[in-house]
Amino acid sequence: MPENLSDNDLDSVHEGRGGAWVVGQALLFGLFLGSLIWGESVDDLPGLVVIQIVGLALALIGAAMSGWAAVHHGTRLTPFPKPTEGMPLIDSGPYRIVRHPMYTGIIAFVLGVGLAYANLATVLTGIAFIVFFMAKTGEEEDMLIRNVPGYREYRSSVHWRLIPYVM
């Protein structure tokens, strides 16, 4: 490795922007689409209409949450877990509720769609998104602490990473 690299350059060499997480996320979105196309709906559940209505509401709330978070990010929005250079702390809007509202919205949307279509494969994909985003946000928060001034204090004040009162 060249000797003239700064500490920031070394950070970039060792951790990159988190492209593997972006690939994993894209694969999960592919799994989600595949579950919708090839997964089968359950037609004989008791209370199916209520489950579908709850699912539709959850999907709409999830889409709204992700959209709200995207508006707060503006042009700084990136799929990579490592923040862009000079990224300011975002602690308003949905970021007052959970630290990663974009991911919260995606989880709610996928689970909601799964319930609305009564598609077990899609609901399981939503659960896979929860596990994936818990792992991704663990690494992302380390990067945010190192690269965004005030993030450590923000993390202490907003207790929920993805789902209020749960995690």
Domain assignment present for residue 154? The answer is yes
| Domain membership flag for residue 51 | yes
Query: Which pLDDT belongs to residue 18?
Result: 83
In a domain, 65, yes or no: yes
Residue 166 vs residue 101, higher pLDDT: 101
CATH number for the domain spanning 132: value is: 1.20.120.1630
How many domains does the structure of the chain reveal? 1
25 in any annotated domain: no
Query: Over the range 67-103, which residues count as b (16 or more CB within 10 Å of their CB) and which as e?
Result: ebbeebeeeeeeeebbbeeebeebeeebbeebbbbbb
pLDDT at position 107 is 97
More confident: 95 or 3:
95
Q: Is residue 57 part of a domain?
A: yes
Which residue range is the domain that position 167 belongs to? Answer: 47-167
Structure confidence at residue 15 (pLDDT)? 53
